[in-house]
Amino acid sequence: MTFRHRHLLGIAPLAPPEIVALLDLAQDYADAMRGGRKHWDALHGLTQINMFFENSTRTQASFEIAGKRLGADVMNMAMQASSVSKGETLIDTALTLNAMRPDLLVVRHPASGAVDLLAQKVDCAVLNAGDGRHEHPTQALLDALTIRRKKGRLHRLTVAICGDIAHSRVARSNLHLLGKMENRLRLVGPPTLIPAGAAEWGVEVCHDMESGLRDADVVMMLRLQRERMDGAFVPSEREYYHRYGLDAAKLSGAKADAIVMHPGPMNRGVEIDGTLADDINRSVIQEQVEMGVAVRMAAMDLLTRHLRAG
């Protein structure tokens, strides 16, 4: 299968068969890694540069490990917020990096659309590691792979995405992906954290956890993204936890075998109860991290196949 895209900027442009092919390849990598394998040559001789203009722990580490396992030369650039106007900084940086002839650029940026803009200025493949509140495609793909492994399918599931939808690129990418696969999607949260117009996206909107979680197969919790909030969106964390924080009592309204997901970083006692997050019978949070490496390997492998052809 050839991946017809030059970049991975979002889930929106991907066709369902492309998503399935990427997940199948990631599944192969995941199985091999569970078997103990740690090295491949798919990216041998290629240069991967990670540019994170926003803090990240797991995503940056995951992309770095994925590149190294595939044999790439991986470089991490510590990008600090600059006082220069954002557009200028970004394009200058892009041109500078481009001159170093990387093959893969992994970019995280606080501004929605910044990664797309950068991709237009460089000659190599660009992977979006999260841009503002726009998209975070590898997160949605690793969530999908985790769901498929746990539920045996990626369609006709009831998925409740709960919490701070308004500021979440994870929610947006997941809505695209799970929507393309024909699932029943619910957004659950206070009205202040659900974007106006969400009801017209073909999803159900619930403002209480009881109706939102009813008969759900998958419960996906999101962090309150305070760094993207302009003012206060919730009265207090205590009040928020009381109404929207996931605990065993609220989860009991979902299906008996419902899985609990969270992209991390978690705020225990704010959006999720710590004990539930650690409950290996319900929570798949660690498997999400594990699948993250496999999905990023698959994405970088597919985006560089044309360099290996012939």
Does 130 participate in binding ligand NCD (rule CB under 6 A)? yes
Q: According to CB under 6 A, which one of 7, 69, 109, 136 is a site residue for ligand NCD? A: 136
What is residue 218's three-state secondary structure?
strand
CB 67 to ligand NCD: min, Å: 17
Q: According to CB under 6 A, which one of 124, 170, 220, 261 is a site residue for ligand NCD? A: 170
Instruction: State which residue has the least CB distance to ligand NCD.
Output: 223
Does 228 participate in binding ligand NCD (rule CB under 6 A)? no
Does 133 participate in binding ligand NCD (rule CB under 6 A)? no
What is residue 280's three-state secondary structure?
coil
Does 167 participate in binding ligand NCD (rule CB under 6 A)? no
Compare residues 10 and 130 and give the one whose CB is closer to ligand NCD. Answer: 130
Q: Alpha-carbon distance 28 to 5, whole Å?
A: 21
Sign of the alpha-carbon dihedral angle for 57, 296, 39, 103: negative
CB 95 to ligand NCD: min, Å: 26
CB 277 to ligand NCD: min, Å: 14
Does 169 participate in binding ligand NCD (rule CB under 6 A)? yes
Single-letter residue type at 234: V
Q: What is the dihedral of CA 206, 133, 296, 12, to 10 degrees?
A: 70
Compare residues 253 and 264 and give the one whose CB is closer to ligand NCD. Answer: 264
β-pair partners for 218: 159, 259
Does 58 participate in binding ligand NCD (rule CB under 6 A)? yes
Q: Alpha-carbon distance 26 to 182, whole Å?
A: 21
- Other C-beta atoms closer than 10 Å to the C-beta of 170 total 26
End-to-end CA distance of the chain: 15
Does 59 participate in binding ligand NCD (rule CB under 6 A)? yes
